[in-house]
Chain A
Amino acid sequence: MSESEPTTDGDVSREVAQRVFAGEFNDASYTFKESDDDRAPVYLLLPTGEHANRVFIVGTLTETEDVGEDNEYWRGRIVDPTGTFFVYAGQYQPDAASTLREAEPPAYVAVVGKPRTYETDDGDINVSVRPESITEVDAATRDRWVVETADRTLDRIAAFDDAGNEYARMAGEQYGDDLSRYTQTVVDGLETLESTDELAVQSPTNADGGAADSDDTAGDAVDAADPSPQP
């Protein structure tokens, strides 16, 4: 235990990176703090009832563009099976900005970053990611992220009605409590993976007594499989 240099770089209560699909992330708009301190972390409230000060996303970088005027300000579009994340990196995120500058889309990338919201002139709230890091990864890592994110999203949906789930209560007030579209988001995400191709073939009809026709109420199962376009 001779190693005793100060660990000033380690923020003791580092915020967990939430796993969230673009389809859910882009629906979020409400941000809040849990203390009055100026430096208190800002959280984005996710519709499935979780607070996110940091996210971890993996997807396909499809496009990069320098949208800055005086200084470089790079925008990247990162696509997952359910939608598109927008990441913006400028002079204060030099590593991420240079990764975007040098990237050659399409490429699988992993991003650790902070959710940011922006109000447009029309009064809409846009949500984006300010990256702490962007790295190029392989397809296996992307697939693993899709499965993990699906699993975490389902966990949030399952816990939504739990007594004492404060963030779910907030989410219900801000976004409503119909989560069926996020269950659908999860199914959509998983079905894009090759390993689930066989299951995916069954899904549109959902007819041959697969797992969805379990002991759950028929109504829910129908909702989850509803192929109608999302609003």
Chain B
Amino acid sequence: MTELRTHAAEIAEQFSDHVDVTEDEVETKLQQLVEEYQVPVDEAKRSVRNSYLEEAGIDRDDISGDGNERALVNDIDEDEQWVDLRVKLVDLWDPRSDSISQVGLLGDESGTIKFVAFETSELEQLDEGQCYELSNVVTDEYQGTYSVKLNRTTTITAIDEEIEVGDNSETVEGALVDVQSGSGLIKRCPKEGCTRVLQNGRCAEHGEVDGEFDLRIKAVLDDGHEVQDVIFNREATESLTGIELAEAKQLAKDALDTSVVADEMRADILGRYYTVTGPTLGRYVLANEFEQHDGPADAESVLIKARSI
């Protein structure tokens, strides 16, 4: 499907209840504007939409949300989809750009997702802790992480309910194919509220500090179809490797080198199969629960599959 065709489908869908319109017709109109008159795609969409609004004698607001699906934030897995959300504003961050009016975290029962609202959309300001129904937001993807963008057509309705925000819990399975740097015995910045991992004794925020030892593993699970980064915190690392913090410190002391801890752990876990369950944080799944697969796999069903080919 071409880009224009996708936009055409979206517009046709929006107006399908109001006027007699086909994708082809919308596409032709878009094409004329974009290809013949060199109008930017966004402006062309806007113009075509307006022409149908006029034809149908309706307001922009009446079509907002039409044909959108109410989505759970943790189910969003496609770019440029129009969705409706029922969410709580969990956190507001400082916008890094003048063009951004608000940026932060929205949450529903499935988990949380980043949102951005732009100055040009001229939307009302959202309040932290308040729950909303948001119609007509657009999904966005950056390096495998999804977010939503509020836009000019987004309608915001404050609702008088409390939404329990979930933790984006996911379960992933695969062979542990890599233990990344920054694993094993690490030092964290001791300053209050800062838990940054020190690089050569330095905190990126607080400079040279006397760090506190911690254990963690940053690993990659690979099931042959896709890869997933996972993080084991101290507790999970201890139970995964059987190496406790005190022992890890002793190992490092004896070797005069902290990297021996990660080496030891690598030997214990690389190349084994695991299932990991936990909340997602950016591109990581935090391993709240995990299990090593050491039982027999179901060879017979695969053998049957082989014989049926």
Q: Which A residues fall within an 8 A CB radius of B?
A: 1-6, 9-10, 12, 14-19, 54, 56, 58, 95, 109-112, 132-133, 135-138, 140-141, 143-148, 150-152, 154, 157-158, 183, 186-187, 190-191, 193, 195-196, 199, 210-212, 214, 216, 220-221, 224-225
Contacts and interface: CB of A to CB of B under 8 A. Distances in A.
A111 B180 CA distance: 16
Contacts of A140: 293-296
A187 B303 contact: yes
25 contacts: A4-B204, A12-B143, A15-B227, A16-B222, A16-B225, A16-B226, A17-B177, A19-B224, A112-B177, A112-B270, A135-B266, A140-B293, A141-B271, A143-B299, A144-B297, A146-B299, A147-B299, A150-B302, A154-B302, A154-B309, A183-B306, A196-B300, A196-B303, A211-B307, A212-B307
Given A56-B224, A112-B271, A190-B303, A143 B296 contact: yes
A132 B270 CA distance: 11
B305 A151 contact: yes
B202 to A, nearest CB: 11
A223 B281 CA distance: 49
B267 A141 contact: no
Interface stretch (B20-28, B95-103, B149-157, B191-199): B191-199
Interface string B243-272: 000000000000000000001001100111
Contacts of A3: 195-197
By CB atoms of chain A within 10 A, which of B144, B204, B296, B308 has the most?
Answer: B308
Nearest to A112: B177
By CB atoms of chain B within 10 A, which of A138, A144, A191 has the most?
Answer: A144
Contacts of B204: 4-6
Nearest to A5: B197
A152 B226 CA distance: 12
A110 B271 CA distance: 5
Contacts of A9: 180-182
Contact of B297 (A16, A17, A18, A147): A147
B224 A196 contact: no
Interface string B183-213: 0000000000111110100001000000000
A10 B283 contact: yes
A110 B182 contact: no
**Across the A-B interface, the 3 shortest Cβ-Cβ residue pairs:** A110-B271, A212-B307, A147-B297
A12 B227 CA distance: 10
Interface size class on chain B is 35 or more
Interface of B: 143-144, 175, 177-178, 180-182, 193-197, 199, 204, 218, 220, 222, 224-227, 229, 263, 266-267, 270-273, 281, 283, 293-300, 302-309
B273 A144 contact: yes
Contacts, number: 149
Contact of A199 (B177, B199, B283, B300): B300
Contacts of A10: 180, 218, 229, 283
Given A196-B300, A216-B309, A16 B227 contact: yes
Given A58-B271, A141-B271, A157-B309, A16 B299 contact: no
A94 to B, nearest CB: 11
A138 B299 contact: no
A183 B143 CA distance: 36
B178 A133 contact: yes
Contact of A17 (B182, B196, B224, B295): B224
Given A110-B175, A147-B297, A4 B270 contact: no
A111 B175 CA distance: 11
A224 B303 CA distance: 12
Given A133-B266, A141-B294, A18 B271 contact: no
B309 A148 contact: no
A190 B306 contact: yes
A109 B182 CA distance: 25
Nearest to A58: B271
A15 B224 CA distance: 10
Nearest to A113: B177
Given A148-B224, A151-B302, A135 B267 contact: yes
Contacts of B177: 17, 54, 56, 112, 133
Contacts of A193: 299
